[in-house]
Amino acid sequence: MIALIIAMQVAVLPAAQSVPVEGFRSELRQRCNDGDADSCGHLARSYATGDGITKDPVRAAELYAKACDGLDAGSCIWLGLAHDKGDGVPRNAERASAFFEKACDLGSAAGCSNIGLSYALGKGVKRDEKRGAAYFKRACDADHAGGCSNLGAAYVKGVGVNRDRKRAVPLFERACGGGDANGCFNLGVMYADALAVPRDRERAVQLYTRACDDGEGAACGNLGLFHAKGWTVPRDAAEAAALYRRGCDLSQAESCTNLGKAYRRGEGVPKDEVRGVALIQQALKIDPGFRPAQRALPFSARQNPALGSSAIVDLVTDKAN
User: 66-91: per-residue pLDDT in tens?
Assistant: 999 999 999 999 999 999 999 999 99
pLDDT of res. 319: 32
Summarize pLDDT for 260-300 with one digit per residue, the tens. 999 999 999 999 999 999 999 999 999 999 999 999 987 65
Q: Identify whether the C-beta of residue 166 lies closer than 8 Å to the C-beta of residue 160.
A: no
Instruction: Tell me the per-residue pLDDT of 240-258, one tens digit each, with 9 for 90 and over.
Output: 999 999 999 999 999 999 9
Nearest to 184 by CA among 192, 193, 176: 176
Q: If pLDDT is split at 50, 70 and 90, which confidence band does 51 have?
A: confident
Indicate the pTM of the whole model: 0.86
Q: Give the right CATH number for 217-321 from 1.25.40.10, 1.10.287.990, 3.10.129.10, 3.40.50.300.
A: 1.25.40.10
Q: Residue 254 in contact with residue 247, Cβ under 8 Å?
A: yes
**What is the tens place of the pLDDT at every residue in 283-294?**
999 999 999 999
Q: Does residue 204 contact residue 192 with C-beta atoms inside 8 Å? A: yes
Residue 318 has pLDDT above 90, yes or no: no
Domain ranges across the chain: 217-321
The set of residues, in sequence order, having a beta carbon less than 8 Å from that of 74 and lying 6+ positions away, is: 13, 16, 41, 103, 108
Please report which residue ranges of 193-307 form alpha helices under DSSP H.
Answer: 201-213, 217-229, 237-249, 253-265, 273-286, 291-296, 299-303
The pLDDT of 45-69, averaged and rounded, is 94
Confidence band, pLDDT 50/70/90 cuts, at residue 22: low
pLDDT band at 314; cut points 50, 70, 90: very low
Mean pLDDT of 216-225: 97
Instruction: State residue 53's pLDDT score.
Output: 86
Q: How confident is the model at residue 6 (pLDDT cuts 50, 70, 90)?
A: low
Distance CA 166, CA 297 (A): 38
Residue 307 banded pLDDT, cuts 50, 70, 90: very low
Task: Identify the pLDDT of residue 189.
Answer: 96
Write the Ramachandran bin of 298: left for phi over 0, alpha for psi from -120 to 50, otherwise beta: beta
Distance CA 258, CA 256 (A): 6
The span from the CA of 4 to the CA of 115, in Å, is 25
